[in-house]
Amino acid sequence: MRTIRPARLALLAAALPLVLVACGDDSDDSSAAPSDAPSSAAAGDSGDDAAFPVTVDTQDGPVEIAEQPEHIVSLSATATEMLFAIGAGDAVVAADSYSNYPADAPTTDLSAFEPNVEAIIGYDPDLVIASSDPGELVSGLAAVDIPAIVLAPAVTLDDTYTQLEQLGAVTGHVGDAAELVGQLRSDVDELVAQVPADAPPVTYYHELDPNLYTVTSGTFIGEIYRLAGLTSIADEAPDAAGGYPQLSPEFIVTANPEIVFFADGGAGGVTADDIAARPGWDQLSAVQQDRVVEVDPDIASRWGPRIVDFLRTVVEQRTALAPAE
């Protein structure tokens, strides 16, 4: 049975947006672009011929990428998806054990949570991407002159767009990244427009694991639900401040969510019938109205390009509800 541990939930809540600044050997108009424009790093470039070196301002300080990377190690399943989506997949020589998408990702047994610097160095990378640093990853790689960039879990969709643009700049795929971001923005706007502006709020419960850990509206996942006009019942939970509270069965039954989404299904996981059979849950509006919906845990928990697929599922469920009288 698939379980998301509290430690991983805390990692999701720890996202900090990064600011990218790129500079080439020659001066161009990008140096004069507004500093608050996420794509300003590529303003002076044509297509995907991005200028190098590229400097990224990270939580660990500035990181310079001297030349276009040819051997990238990704220790983030989300970053792996992003790299392939912007056309940089050919440069990825190794990805961590959770990088199961796309199918041709070079998945290995490298750990994203307990990275082995020696094993990483064995792939001879000229760039390492991670979503966190447990303490010695960046410094260990720096000791052998391998740049590492930490792209922390996103808090908002804007963070997703920014990270795509950052990866586009440091891999030389500026144009591809910009095109993808534009398409994602368009897709999100189109989906959100399907929900009437005056539609009444709908409550939901998003189950992360069988221990009843869930999300509040203040998380990245919660933002996706908010875009579709849904409100998490966990917002009123006693320990909601961290964003990923553990609810009691009694709390859920009392809150009576109108839709239940569960991300702990799949092989060996729970089923909609299992949820309906829990004591007292047969009284939930979601169960009685057959609105218990399984979602792909990878798509729902990662902040990469496939987040649009998750939003589409949520919007479909929201718009299927008859408007309140």
Decide: 165 and 43 in contact? Cβ < 8 Å: no
Q: What separation in angstroms does the CA of 52 have from each of 120, 179, 182, 207?
A: 24, 20, 24, 44
Predicted local distance difference test score (pLDDT) of residue 51 = 82
pLDDT digits (tens, 9 = 90+) for 120-171: 999 999 999 999 998 899 999 999 999 999 999 999 999 999 999 999 999 9
Composition of the chain by helix, strand, coil, percent to 5: 40, 15, 45
CA–CA separation, 85 and 89 (whole Å): 8
Predicted local distance difference test score (pLDDT) of residue 5 = 43
CATH 3.40.50.1980, the chain: domain bounds: 6-26+36-189, 194-320
**For domain 6-26+36-189, which CATH number applies: 3.30.1490.190, 3.40.50.720, 3.30.1490.390, 3.40.50.1980?**
3.40.50.1980
pLDDT tier, 50 (very low <50, low <70, confident <90, very high otherwise): low
Q: Region 171-198: what's the mean pLDDT?
A: 96
Predicted local distance difference test score (pLDDT) of residue 31 = 32
- pTM assigned to the model: 0.83
Let me know if 295 is exposed, middle or buried by CB neighbors in 10 A (0-12, 13-18, 19+). buried
User: Which tops the pLDDT comparison, 196 or 60?
Assistant: 196
Q: With the CA atoms of 209, 258, 301 and 42 taken in that order, what torsion angle do they form, in degrees rounded to the nearest 10?
A: -170
CA–CA separation, 311 and 292 (whole Å): 16
CA–CA separation, 315 and 189 (whole Å): 12
CATH architecture for residues 194-320: 3-Layer(aba) Sandwich (3.40)
pLDDT tier, 58 (very low <50, low <70, confident <90, very high otherwise): confident
The fraction of the chain above a pLDDT of 90, given in percent, is 75
CA–CA separation, 319 and 187 (whole Å): 16
Predicted local distance difference test score (pLDDT) of residue 41 = 38
- pLDDT higher than 50, residue 189: yes
Let me know if 317 is exposed, middle or buried by CB neighbors in 10 A (0-12, 13-18, 19+). buried
Predicted local distance difference test score (pLDDT) of residue 304 = 97
Predicted local distance difference test score (pLDDT) of residue 323 = 56
